[in-house]
């Protein structure tokens, strides 16, 4: 009788076999970083602040090699599934079958296979998106969080967690160090490093002493005054033409997908909105329909206004689809590929797009923020950033920080090879300090100004915050529930010396999503520990539809 046995599959069966990789000579700064972190005996948290192109990944691999020699394991987190393929390939070249991958686009069989390999110690390096932080292991000797500033590490659906916080908890259990690597560290992490709670390690120069890209800020108001109504400025068009003529590559960032951001009747002003969400539907030309980016509902494009019957239907705003069309018209010989949620919905599709661009099968990579995160393309000498100030208008205390991070990261994709990089940053607010600091790629100047605003206004890291979201299908009920929560918290607060500021309830930025009305309460204070414990006992906080988000991002 035949006997069956179970054996985990090799990583190289899942990803293409790659040639070996020999570590290159480290720069003095890289050597110092490896020395400082590699000698850790207390399980500290290290903020590895390295400018774009400074070789943070090589530092990760050198430290991982040391941990593997000790017979321990390494967990590497990346913010986007689309980034796993790039970093996995680099680690595979160095460590071969010791590497496994964990993310949501794997099949159940692949996840189980890789989980078992880490659990039984067959493999020693796990690379994945935020959920990889929970991977089983024999003995972990190092946690690496790449692009640690990224908001993707926070999961807003149950089970709610922040991968960085979980990483530090697991590291404390194993007594091992944590590396928070980024060219634009989260302000809270950098503040803790300067205060001595974390250890700051800096890489201030690019590998090979390559210069940072030169950045030109274009005032789109001047473009309009000259009669240019295109999304692409004349300056950016010239840069793209020069780049193509030199057989180099370019990346263009626009943080809005779709073709047009809303559809409006020019006669009565009616805007086509989602039936279940209080948002305008986005026109997707490729699929020839309107789509809600919150609930994924779809509608046909109206030929007449549903409100007044007028035929004056107009498409407004620009998304990645529209920019792609404009680029094809302006640069007919250019090979353009788009990277956004619409083109990466299928398994490994994002990885295939990135690798095709790396092989120079395309000249221009156009996409949303996915194109700005951690990619290393030696052939890219030009970057265009459209609507650089779009995030600045979000009513949130972190809007400036998120904008600076996105712009700096995007600019940093240029000039990582032998050709110096050039960047065109298009904006309607060229004098804003966030735009100016991002154009200079000066993190410390941005930090010094932003941290002062945070201190004056009592925002993190100087005070803790919590957000309470109340949802209900009835607008009357949602107000009743939210007022009950506010009354209960204010009552507790009054009994404990007004330690916490309870603000609200007020309507959320988006009033209704998926047929549920949304109200928000904000809590701020030096220490929210006591009120968080109290909320576990307050009945109003346990009503259906009440969601408590600690440290919202």
Instruction: Write the DSSP assignment of 530-541 as a string of letters.
Output: HHHHHHTT-GGG
Residues 151 and 108 grouped into a single domain: yes
d(CA 492, CA 499): 10
- How far apart (Å, rounded) are the C-alpha atoms in residues 8 and 47? 35
The residues facing 155 across adjacent strands are 161
Q: Are 77 and 166 in contact (CB under 8 A)?
A: no
Q: Are 64 and 137 in the same domain?
A: yes
- Mean pLDDT within 457-480: 94
Work out the pLDDT band at 20, boundaries 50, 70, 90: low
Give the whole-angstrom CA distance, residue 143 versus residue 146.
Answer: 10
pLDDT at residue 12, as a whole number:
45
Asked whether residue 204 carries a pLDDT value surpassing 60, the answer given is yes
For residues 89-96, average pLDDT: 89
Decide if 317 is inside a domain: no
169 CB-side CA count, 13 A: 8
Q: CATH number of the domain at 509, please.
A: 3.30.70.600
CA dihedral (254, 259, 265, 267) positive or negative = positive
Question: Has residue 449 been placed in a domain?
Answer: yes
User: Does 63 share its domain with 200?
Assistant: yes
* Separation of alpha carbons 58 and 29, rounded Å: 12
Minimum mean pLDDT range among 84-98, 123-137, 208-222: 84-98
Is 4's pLDDT higher than 60? Answer: no
Per-residue tokens: 378: 């030696």
Whether the per-residue pLDDT at 168 is higher than 90: the answer is: yes
Q: Is the pLDDT of residue 120 over 80?
A: yes
Domains identified in the chain, total number: 3
Half-sphere exposure of 306 (CA within 13 A, CB side): 11
**What is the model's pLDDT at position 342?**
72
The CATH number covering residue 221 comes to 3.40.50.300
Q: Where is pLDDT greater, at 389 or 192?
A: 192
Same structural domain, 202 and 217 = no
Per-residue pLDDT at 3 exceeds 70? no
Q: Please give the mean pLDDT across all residues of the chain.
A: 88
**Same domain membership, residue 401 and residue 495:** no
* pLDDT for 287 beyond 80: no
What's the CA gap between 85 and 77, in Å, rounded? 12
pLDDT over 90 for what percent of the chain? 56
Q: Do 304 and 311 form a contact (C-beta atoms < 8 A)?
A: yes
**pLDDT at position 423 over 70:** yes
- Judged by DSSP in three states, 543 sits in coil
> Is 301 part of a structural domain of the chain?
no
Strand pairing class (178-182; 140-146):
parallel
Highest mean pLDDT: which range of 57-66, 339-348, 544-553: 57-66
Bridge-partner residues for 548, per DSSP? 468
Coil, strand or helix at 342: coil
Pick the closest to residue 60 from 91, 14, 105 (CA basis).
Answer: 91
**Residue 478 is encoded by which pair of tokens?**
């949602």
Q: Does one domain contain both 191 and 235?
A: no
Sign of the Cα torsion 242, 247, 248, 251 reads: positive
Q: For 347-351, 428-432, 504-508, which range has the lowest pLDDT when averaged over its residues?
A: 347-351
Task: Tell me the mean pLDDT in the region 497-515.
Answer: 88
Q: For residues 76 and 372, give the distance between their C-alpha atoms in angstroms, rounded to a whole number.
A: 19
Same domain, 376 and 493: no
Q: Mean of the pLDDT values across residues 324-330?
A: 93
End of a domain among 208, 230, 249? 208
Residue 373 lies in a domain: yes
How many helices, marked H, and strands, marked E, lie in the chain? 16, 24
d(CA 32, CA 28): 6
Same domain, 478 and 414: no
* Model pLDDT for residues 363-404, shown as the tens digit of each residue: 999 988 888 877 888 899 999 999 888 888 888 889 999 999
Beta bridge partners of 127: 76, 101
**Among 108-122, 412-426, 434-448, which range has the highest average pLDDT?**
434-448
Return the higher-pLDDT residue of 485 and 8: 485
Same domain, 173 and 76: yes
**How far, in Å, are 13, 252, 306 from residue 233 at the CA level?**
46, 12, 35
Least confident range from 209-218, 343-352, 503-512: namely 343-352
Are 52 and 140 in the same domain? yes
Q: Are residues 186 and 110 in the same domain?
A: yes
Does the reported pTM lie above 0.85?
Answer: yes
* pLDDT surpasses 50 at 15: no
Per-residue confidence band for 22, with pLDDT thresholds at 50, 70 and 90: low
Q: What is the pLDDT of residue 18?
A: 45
Residues 407-415, mean pLDDT to the nearest whole number: 92
14 pLDDT above the threshold of 50 = no
Q: Would residue 93 count as lying in a domain?
A: yes
3-state secondary structure of 283: strand
b/e per residue 18-52 (b: at least 16 CB within 10 A): eeeeeeeebbebbeebbebbeebeeebbbbbbbbb
405 located within any domain: yes
Is the per-residue pLDDT at 483 higher than 90? Answer: yes
Pairing of strands 422-427, 380-385: parallel
For residue 391, give its domain range: 210-259+360-454
What's the pLDDT score for residue 444? 97
The residues near 148 (Cβ < 8 Å, ≥ 6 apart) are 47, 164, 180, 181, 182, 185, 186, 189
Domain stop point among 402, 422, 454? 454
SS3 100: strand
3-state helix, strand, coil in the chain (%, to 5): 35, 25, 40
Are 49 and 98 members of one domain?
yes
Contact 176, 45 (CB under 8 A): no
54-60-61-63 Cα dihedral, nearest 10 degrees: 120
DSSP letter at 377?
A: -
pLDDT at 17: 43
Task: Tell which of 167, 184, 208 closes a domain.
Answer: 208
Confidence of residue 80 (pLDDT cuts 50, 70, 90): confident
């Amino acid at each position: 009788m035949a006997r069956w046995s179970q054996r985990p599959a090799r990583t190289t069966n899942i990803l293409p076999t790659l040639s070996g990789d020999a570590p290159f000579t480290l720069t003095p700064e890289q050597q110092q970083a490896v020395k400082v972190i590699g000698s850790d005996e207390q399980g500290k948290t290290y903020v590895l602040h390295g400018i774009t192109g400074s070789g943070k990944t090589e530092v990760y691999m050198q430290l991982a090699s040391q941990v593997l020699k000790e017979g321990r394991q390494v967990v590497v987190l990346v913010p986007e599934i689309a980034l796993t393929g790039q970093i996995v390939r680099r680690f595979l070249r160095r460590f071969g079958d010791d590497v496994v991958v964990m993310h949501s686009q794997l099949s159940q069989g692949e996840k189980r296979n890789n989980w078992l390999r880490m659990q039984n110690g067959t493999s020693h390096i796990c690379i994945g998106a935020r959920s990889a932080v929970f991977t089983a292991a024999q003995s972990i000797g190092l946690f690496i969080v790449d692009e640690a500033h990224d908001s993707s590490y926070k999961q807003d659906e149950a089970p709610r967690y922040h991968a960085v916080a979980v990483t530090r908890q697991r590291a404390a259990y194993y007594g091992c160090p944590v590396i928070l690597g980024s060219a634009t560290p989260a302000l809270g992490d950098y503040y803790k490093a300067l205060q001595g709670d974390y250890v700051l390690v800096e890489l201030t120069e690019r590998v090979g002493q390559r210069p940072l890209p030169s950045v030109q800020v274009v005032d789109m108001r001047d473009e309009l005054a000259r009669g240019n109504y295109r999304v692409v400025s004349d300056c950016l068009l010239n840069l793209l033409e020069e780049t193509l003529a030199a057989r180099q590559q370019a990346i263009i960032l626009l943080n809005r997908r779709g073709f047009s951001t809303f559809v409006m009747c020019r006669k009565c002003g009616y805007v086509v909105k989602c039936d279940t969400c209080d948002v305008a539907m986005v026109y997707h030309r490729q699929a020839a329909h309107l789509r809600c980016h919150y609930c994924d509902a779809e509608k046909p494009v109206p030929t007449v206004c549903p409100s007044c019957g007028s035929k004056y239907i107009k498409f407004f705003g620009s998304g990645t689809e529209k920019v792609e069309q404009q680029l094809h018209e302006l640069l007919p010989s250019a090979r353009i590929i788009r990277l956004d949620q619409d083109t990466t919905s299928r398994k490994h599709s994002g990885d295939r797009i990135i690798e095709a661009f790396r092989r120079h099968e395309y000249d221009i990579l156009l996409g949303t923020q996915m194109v700005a995160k951690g990619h290393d393309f030696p052939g890219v000498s030009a970057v265009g950033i459209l609507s650089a100030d779009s995030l600045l208008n979000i009513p949130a205390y972190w809007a400036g920080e998120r904008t600076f991070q996105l712009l700096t990261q995007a600019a940093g994709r240029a000039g990582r090879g032998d050709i110096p990089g050039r960047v065109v940053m298009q904006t309607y607010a060229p004098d804003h300090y966030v735009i100016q600091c991002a154009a200079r790629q000066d993190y410390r100047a941005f930090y010094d100004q932003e941290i002062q605003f945070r201190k004056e206004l009592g925002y993190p890291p100087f005070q803790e915050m919590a957000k309470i979201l109340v949802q209900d299908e009835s607008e009357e009920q949602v107000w009743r529930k939210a007022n009950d929560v506010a009354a209960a918290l204010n009552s507790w607060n009054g009994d404990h010396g007004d330690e916490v500021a309870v603000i609200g309830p007020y309507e959320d930025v988006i009033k209704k999503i998926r047929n549920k009305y949304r109200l928000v309460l904000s809590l701020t204070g030096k220490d929210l520990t006591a009120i968080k414990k109290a909320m576990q006992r307050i009945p109003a906080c346990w009503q259906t539809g009440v969601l408590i988000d600690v440290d919202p991002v």
